[in-house]
């Protein structure tokens, strides 16, 4: 049986301002309707669409610098990438997703929401290395941090940032990824919390700043 989409909580009006408000409500309907019917979101998630999905993803914008090119790795139903595009019209967002069923849903959502700052790209992160470069990579529920680093760092410019939504295990994953952080040439890696007073608990992110990877260094010296 399908669950009912709840009314947006009051805080949503403060998070989704201006044109973002109508788009956020429209996206909530899309997720609760076609998103569930096509199996991109479990029916039990419908009552939690506002707090667990839309708001939790929107507050990640606090960690995203202005005017950046952002790639959302493993975007699924557009979380967090499509929500970030809604709240931040200044950024250009690439939703990267390998599964056709999901990219079709994403393309239809982008069109329905009339977003002109989003591109949908079908593919795997590791296939994009060396072909495209971004300022920020975001990801939620895609892979453990060490694997995510392998996929994300080659997509980032030097000084670019991986922002991984990690929740409760963030500190553990950061410690476990130590070797990969060094191998990938990370400049800094830290835990950041966002959404204080907006989501409960605040969202925990791992932010990794890309340095010059050994791979990039080798490529440059060969020229
Ligand atoms: C559990 S879902 C999470 C979706 C969304 N980020 C969310 O939080 O709801 C993981 C997504 O990562 C995608 N994925 C898996 N391997 C990938 C890869 N190598 N590159 C990019 N995306 C990948 C899957 O197709 C799937 O849509």
Whether residue 152 has pLDDT greater than 60: yes
Residue 1 counted as domain residue:
no
Look up residue 91 and give its DSSP letter. S
Q: In terms of residue numbers, what domain contains 176?
A: 64-222
Q: Could you read off the pLDDT of 45-57 as tens digits, one per residue?
A: 999 999 999 999 9
What is the domain count for the chain? 1
Mutation pick for ligand 1 pocket among 31, 96, 142, 144 (CB with most ligand atoms within 8 Å) = 142
Instruction: For residue 14, tell me if it sits in a domain.
Output: no
Residue 123 in contact with ligand 1 by CB distance below 6 A: no
36, part of any domain:
no
User: Looking at residue 172, which CATH number applies to its domain?
Assistant: 3.40.50.150
The answer to the question of residue 143 being in a domain is yes
pLDDT at 217: 47
> Distance between CA 111 and CA 129 in Å, rounded?
27
Residue 27 domain flag: no
Q: Are 23 and 54 in contact (CB under 8 A)?
A: no
| CB-CB neighbours of 149 under 10 Å | 25
Residue 140 lies in a domain: yes
Whether 7 is covered by a domain: the verdict is: no
Three-state secondary structure readout of 169-197: HHHHHHHHCHHHHHHCCEEEEEEEEECCC
Question: Nearest C-alpha to atom 7 of ligand 1 is from which residue?
Answer: 79
Tell me the average pLDDT of the chain: 94
Is 217 domain-assigned?
yes
Does 35 sit in the ligand 1 pocket, CB within 6 Å? no
| pLDDT band, residue 212 (cuts 50/70/90) | confident
CB neighbourhood size of 200 (10 A)? 11
């Amino acid at each position: 049986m399908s669950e009912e989409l709840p009314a947006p909580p009051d805080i949503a009006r403060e998070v989704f301002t201006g044109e973002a408000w109508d788009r956020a409500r429209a996206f909530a309907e899309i997720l609760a309707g076609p998103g569930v019917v096509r199996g991109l979101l479990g029916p039990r998630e419908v009552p939690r669409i506002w707090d667990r999905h839309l708001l939790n993803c929107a507050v990640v914008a606090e960690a995203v610098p202005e005017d950046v090119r952002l790639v959302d790795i493993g975007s699924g139903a557009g979380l967090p990438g499509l929500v970030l595009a809604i709240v931040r019209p200044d950024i250009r967002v690439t939703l990267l997703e390998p599964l056709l069923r999901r990219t079709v849903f994403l393309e239809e959502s982008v069109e329905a929401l009339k977003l002109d700052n989003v591109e949908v790209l079908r593919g795997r992160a590791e296939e994009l290395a060396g072909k495209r470069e971004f300022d920020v990579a975001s990801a939620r529920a895609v892979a453990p941090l060490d694997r995510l680093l392998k996929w994300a760092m080659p997509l980032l410019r030097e000084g670019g940032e991986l922002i991984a939504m990690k929740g409760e295990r963030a500190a553990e994953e950061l410690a476990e990824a130590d070797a990969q952080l060094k191998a990938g040439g990370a400049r800094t890696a830290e835990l950041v919390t966002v959404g204080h007073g907006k989501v409960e608990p605040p969202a925990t992110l791992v932010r990794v700043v890309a340095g010059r990877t050994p791979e990039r260094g080798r490529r440059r010296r060969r020229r």
